Structure 1
Amino acid sequence: MTTDEGRGSLRRMLRRLTASEAEIEAQQLQRESARCGAVPVLQCGRGQVVSVSGRLRTVVYTPRTNLPALEADLYDGSDVVTLVWLGRRHIAGIEPGRHLTARGRVAVRDDRKVIYNPYYELEPSK
């Protein structure tokens, strides 16, 4: 092992010891997302058709008079994208803490990234 390799592994070990739980979770989610071949949400832009992968943080049914919607915030360790299923009150398996991969076109609503009616694949529960 060269001196530079020794310093690099020492730096990584110190970073792991001093990182917060949220930072460690974010790094793990980013690694899992990259392994799936997904685009980091932070790099997604309006109009792009993307595949994103991460963990659902919140799932909310939004009753509206003309069109109800189910909304879920997907966090991949870099940023959050809101997945919106129009006309749905509930979807089996769409629940907080669940990992999934979603595909669709990115829109921006109220300065937040949104994918309407995404195609999605639930990851097996761990």
Structure 2
Amino acid sequence: MTTDESRGSLRRILHRLTASEAEIEAQELQRESAECGGVPALECFRGQVVSVSGRLRTVVYTPRTNLPTLEADLYDGSDVVTLVWLGRRHIAGIEPGRHLTARGRIAVRDERKVIYNPYYELDLPK
């Protein structure tokens, strides 16, 4: 092992010891997202067609008089993208803690990144 490699290993070990649980989780989610070919949510902008991959933090059914919606916050370790299914009350497998990859066009609603009616693939439970 070269000196640079040993310094890099030592740096990684020290980081693991000093980083918070949230920082470690974010790094793992970013790594998993990159392995799935996902674009980091932080780098997504209005109008782009993207594929984002991460873990669902929250899933909320919002009953509205005209059009009910199912909304889920997808976190990839860098930022959150809200997935919105219009006219849906429930989708099997869409639940907090579930990993998935979603594809669609980024919109911005109330200064939050949103994908309406995304195409999605549920990842196998880990």
For the aligned pair, the TM-score class normalised by the smaller chain equals over 0.9
Runs of 4+ in 1 over 4 A off after TM superposition: none
Question: Runs of 5+ in structure 2 lacking a partner?
Answer: none
Question: Runs of 5+ in structure 1 lacking a partner?
Answer: none
User: Counterpart of 1:116?
Assistant: 116
The amino acid across from 1:106 in the alignment is I
User: Counterpart of 1:74?
Assistant: 74
Q: Please show how residues 47-66 of structure 1 align to structure 2 within 5 Å.
A: 47-66=47-66
Distance 1:11 1:93 in 2: 39
Distance 2:57 2:11 in 1: 31
Distance 1:95 1:107 in 2: 22
Aligned-residue offset at 1:22: 0.6
Alignment length, in residue pairs?
126
Q: Please show how residues 1-126 of structure 1 align to structure 2 within 5 Å.
A: 1-126=1-126
Aligned-residue offset at 1:71: 0.1
Q: Could you say what secondary structure the match of 2:96 adopts?
A: coil
Distance 2:24 2:79 in 1: 15
Q: Percent identity?
A: 88
Distance 2:31 2:4 in 1: 24
Distance 2:81 2:99 in 1: 14
Distance 2:114 2:14 in 1: 37
RMSD: 0.6
Distance 1:6 1:54 in 2: 31
Aligned-residue offset at 1:2: 2.1
Q: Once the two structures are superposed, what CA deviation does each residue of 1:13-43 show, in whole Å capped at 9, x if it has no partner? A: 1001111111111000000000001100000
Distance 1:73 1:79 in 2: 10
